[in-house]
Amino acid sequence: MEVNDALVQNLANLARLQFNEQEKEIIKKDLQRMIHFVDKLNEVNTEGVEPLLHMTDAINILREDQVKGSITREEALKNAPDSDGTFFKVPKVIKKQE
């Protein structure tokens, strides 16, 4: 695949980006290096190698749900800067739009 000014301009247009001439040259060289890298990967013999779908063979290694003890409301509110005995009190953060 050839990376030319038209390709860079088309990609910039699709991505809604604007480049000056110096930036276009840098982008063009970067794209050429990326394509060269992918071409190198295509040279690797993958005959008989199954596609990797997951990074590990483990499937659904989730623990069973277990009911465990919890702290009391008083313990939860003990270090709160402000509460009404049942809930945490926090400053209002919603403003009315006028």
Q: What is the pLDDT of residues 4-24, one digit of tens each?
A: 999 999 999 999 999 999 999
Alpha helices in 1-98 (DSSP H): 5-14, 21-42, 73-77
Range of the domain at 14: 5-42
**Phi and psi for 28 in degrees, rounded to 5?**
-60, -45
Residue 83: beta bridge partners? 88
pLDDT-based confidence at residue 2 (cuts at 50, 70, 90): confident
| 29 within some domain | yes
Q: Is the pLDDT higher at 39 or at 94?
A: 39
| 79 within some domain | no
Instruction: Find the farthest-apart pair of alpha carbons in the chain and give their distance in angstroms, rounded.
Output: 70
| 28 within some domain | yes
Look at residue 10 in the predicted model and tell me its pLDDT. Answer: 93
Find the CATH number of the domain harbouring 22: 1.10.20
pLDDT (mean) for 21-35: 94
Query: Per the structure, how many domains does the chain have?
Result: 1
Look at residue 24 in the predicted model and tell me its pLDDT. Answer: 93
| 18 within some domain | yes
- Can you give the pTM of this predicted structure? 0.48
